[in-house]
Amino acid sequence: MEEKIYSWFVKKGNILIHRNENYITFQLNGENEDFCWLTKSDTDEVIDILTMIAKQIWENSDYLRKPYTDRLYKITEEGFYVWEIEDSQLLIKYDEKGIIKIKSIGNANLNIEVNQVVEIIQVLEQLNNQI
């Protein structure tokens, strides 16, 4: 299968998404900002891309499915949804300005497992309904 890299220029920043074997690699560039800012339509596009790649991985006969036993993220007092990914973190938060803020701490390239991606999609959908 041909590997595609999706580069999405959001309200502030750029998000690169591509399949890396059985992971989805997510790279965020806030362009001199701490966070990438996503509008409602940006979020819809990111959700569509993540869903498509996660489905490809899930349907791959070589993929070893891991059982989903418990929530993989935590919510901070500041309202951030936080996923621990290897030695890094992915943070997502709804902002009162009507945008979704997203950033990574640590490694610039996050290799995200399918179960984490499913949660990220669900959180993005939930937050996007607030916009």
What percent of the chain has a predicted confidence (pLDDT) above 70?
95
Cβ-Cβ contacts under 8 Å for 35 (sequence gap 6 or more): 12, 13, 101, 102, 103
Mean pLDDT of the chain: 91
Q: Whole-model pTM?
A: 0.90
Q: Which residues contact 38 (CB under 8 A, 6 or more apart)?
A: 10, 11, 46, 99, 100, 101, 102
**Type and span of the H or E element at 70:** none
The reported pLDDT for the residue numbered 8 is 62
Which two tokens mark 108? 């610039």
For 124, the token pair is: 């993005």
Kindly tell me if the per-residue pLDDT of 10 is higher than 60. Answer: yes
Residues 6+ apart with CB under 8 A from 121: 47, 50, 51, 54
Q: What is the pLDDT of residues 66-86, one digit of tens each?
A: 999 999 999 999 999 999 999
